[in-house]
Structure 1
Amino acid sequence: MNGLTWVQRRYTQYDPSRIEEFSSASRSVKTGMMSVGITSAWVWAAVFLQTGTLTYLYGVSIPWWFGMGGFVEIAAFAFISSKVKVNAGGASTFLQVAKVRFGVLGHLAYMFAAIVANCVVGSEILIGGAGVISGMTGISQYAGIWLLPTVIVAYVLTGGLRATFVADYLHCCILFTCLLVLVLATYTRGDLIGSPGKLYDLLLAASETTPAVGNAHQSYLSFRSDGGMYYAVTAATSFFGLSFCDQSYWQRSIASKPAGTSKAFIFAGCFFFSVAFGIGSSMGLAARALESNPAFPTYPNPLSLTEIGAGLAGPYASIAILGKAGPAMYTIIAFMATTSA
């Protein structure tokens, strides 16, 4: 990334030492790069773990509601983004907009919200990502918490916001490749599952041995799920606080070209939905289907409360399906998702 920044400074009109370029990428980012950048800000390591584990607990409705919850918030921000470009096209940060619009008190209120959001979101991303990498590799979780941001600081300090967009694009390519491998391995590879029909039969058998309490017919294949509906309401409301107070969304709105800003948020919502639905409907359901198989790491016992709390349903399913390649995929995903976010 530092090499690309040097090339940019030497051979293009965009110089990262200028504040407009450093903080807002000269407001020249196009729709494709913008949509990927927004997606990377929303896809954390916890998304891959939580979606799989909640699907393991409540069934097929969870990945749908998880994805839709994220889509609604991201798509709703398209309206804010378009208004920022129309009414404050020269702003470098959204705090400038707040000061002009609401005065000093409003500016201080927005600044406080931004600091709190940064602390909360940054802590969640770092602790979640370091926890995944620690669980998959055995390194100290404290080492992970310090090493992950060190990687990002190394190129953000020299390249600014545009460097994060380029890094996000590269990271998302790798992340989506790993996601496709996990999904296709679940539904097309090996004797454990290998087809949607086999997974369906295994989930019917799992519903008989370990019924899904609160689901219609106690089935993991039902959308009539108490747990699923509770999470649908939670996702459709609480995610607004994360997106509307997270300055990364505002800053990406400012950095975008006016013509593509709203489209970028709609596309990003679709991308997020594909991540949540893909990982949940493959790894989450596979974990429940394979729990009684000797290849599953906890066999013959179900996942413990500690393992469920750590979000290990998906990684354990990947071990059963892909062997050592499974946790390797999850480690790569955790690193890419954490550093991008």
Structure 2
Amino acid sequence: MTTTKQLFPIFDQGVGYGLVIGLGGIFALLMTATSFALKRYFSEVQDSEMYLTAKRSIRTGLIASSVVSSWTLSATLLTSTTFGYLYGVSAAFWYGAGCSVPILTFAVLAIELKRKAPNAHTFLELVKHRYGASGHIVLAIYSLIYQIFIAVNLLVGGADLFNLVTGMHKVAVCFLFPIGVCIYTHFGGIKATFLTEWVHTVIIFVIMLTSMFVMYATSDAVGSPGRMWELLKAAADIRPVAGNEGGELLTMKSVEGGMIGLIFLGGGFSATVDSQLFQKAIAADPKSTVAGYLLGSLCWVGFPGQLIPIQ
């Protein structure tokens, strides 16, 4: 019998270091060069206003891609597929639906932020003005704790993946990953992060759509949606899912699937204390804010369901 140790790592450590350092360096150089080009040819002065708010000029497409990129964490790519594999399509659906509600909530919060404090530079600035220094400190602490957890989620999830596939040391991955991000953010400010997230989103969709077309159209293992349906029905006969109606993987009547939706619906609202997500709302053009968040939510919500057959 083939074991996990026999299958992995697929590549050697040099490939891992090349991807992390090489791609990180390419992103850093491209975004830094873009920032200098905008300064030279479009007279974008990188003052504090531009650095923090991008002059409140970010339009719908960049907002939507930022939402997709920000919400595509390690949990989106790894945890959702695990739940879908264990509990079927209902788990993937409720994972996506539960996590999309906070995105829609942010659309409302962004509107109120634009309406009541159109010239604010940070969300913490608004909180300090409304609730005083004590409220400012409390939210800053909550935001810091949340961002630490998200950073750990991203770094540890990515490090585990690179360690499994290439044998690269996890600590090295955790230290090398953020370097490129720090470089292009230093030179380009928040606009550079929007541009980078657009590139991230394009890459995500290219990989996702290519994998789906291969799986449903040309793969010898599946080859068609009908064949996938038959395979999932057969899998339920071999391994019935406890708590699902008839033990099926294709049913929406699933106790565990509903519980997953409730868990991520509640957990997702923790993002409302994240100051960097509000910073993106501040950078958005007022006319594009709602459309950007709604479009981003619609683009992201299908990810968990699409990942299951690829797995």
**Which residue does the alignment assign to 2:285?**
257
8 Å CA contact 2:106–2:272 kept in 1: the answer is: yes
**Which residue does the alignment assign to 1:222?**
251
User: Would you say 1:108 and 2:108 are equivalent positions?
Assistant: no
**Which residue does the alignment assign to 1:266?**
294
Query: Which of 36, 55, 58 in structure 2 is aligned with 1:6?
Result: 36
User: Would you say 1:41 and 2:70 are equivalent positions?
Assistant: yes
Aligned length: 281
User: Would you say 1:71 and 2:77 are equivalent positions?
Assistant: no
Cα RMSD between the aligned structures? Answer: 1.2
**Which residue does the alignment assign to 2:218?**
189
**Which letter does structure 2 place at the counterpart of 1:256?**
A
User: Would you say 1:154 and 2:183 are equivalent positions?
Assistant: yes
Residue 125 of structure 1: how far off its partner (Å): 1.3
User: Would you say 1:278 and 2:301 are equivalent positions?
Assistant: no
CA distance in 1, matches of 2:274, 2:223: 41
User: Would you say 1:118 and 2:118 are equivalent positions?
Assistant: no
**Which letter does structure 2 place at the counterpart of 1:267?**
L
CA distance in 1, matches of 2:279, 2:237: 50
Residue 25 of structure 1: how far off its partner (Å): 1.0
**Which letter does structure 1 place at the counterpart of 2:225?**
P
**Which letter does structure 2 place at the counterpart of 1:67?**
G
Residue 69 of structure 1: how far off its partner (Å): 1.2
Residue 248 of structure 1: how far off its partner (Å): 2.4
**Which letter does structure 2 place at the counterpart of 1:266?**
L
**Which letter does structure 1 place at the counterpart of 2:280?**
R
CA distance in 2, matches of 1:232, 1:120: 20
**Which letter does structure 1 place at the counterpart of 2:171?**
Y
8 Å CA contact 2:87–2:256 kept in 1: the answer is: yes
Residue 110 of structure 1: how far off its partner (Å): 1.1
Matched residue SS, 2:302 = helix
8 Å CA contact 2:38–2:44 kept in 1: the answer is: yes
1:137-170 alpha-carbon deviations (Å, 9 max, x no partner) = 2211111111110121121111110001111111
Residue 189 of structure 1: how far off its partner (Å): 1.8
**Which letter does structure 1 place at the counterpart of 2:140?**
M
**Which residue does the alignment assign to 1:199?**
228
1:236-293 alpha-carbon deviations (Å, 9 max, x no partner) = 211111x21222220011000111111111111111102222213x22xxxxxxxxxx
CA distance in 2, matches of 1:126, 1:257: 31
CA distance in 1, matches of 2:149, 2:175: 16
Q: What's the TM-score once normalised by structure 2's chain length?
A: 0.87
CA distance in 1, matches of 2:299, 2:198: 13
**Which letter does structure 2 place at the counterpart of 1:257?**
D
1:88-129 alpha-carbon deviations (Å, 9 max, x no partner) = 111111110000111111111111111111111111111112
Please give the residue correspondences for 1:15-26 in structure 2 after superposition, counting only pairs within 5 Å.
Answer: 15-16=45-46, 18-26=47-55
CA distance in 2, matches of 1:110, 1:278: 36
Residue 87 of structure 1: how far off its partner (Å): 0.8
User: Would you say 1:246 and 2:274 are equivalent positions?
Assistant: yes
8 Å CA contact 1:75–1:265 kept in 2: the answer is: yes
CA distance in 2, matches of 1:49, 1:249: 23
Matched residue SS, 2:118 = coil
Residue 45 of structure 1: how far off its partner (Å): 2.9
8 Å CA contact 1:70–1:272 kept in 2: the answer is: no
Residue 191 of structure 1: how far off its partner (Å): 1.9
**Which residue does the alignment assign to 1:301?**
none
Matched residue SS, 1:258 = coil
CA distance in 2, matches of 1:78, 1:88: 15
Where structure 2 has 5 or more consecutive residues not aligned to the other structure, the ranges are: 1-30
**Which residue does the alignment assign to 2:9?**
none
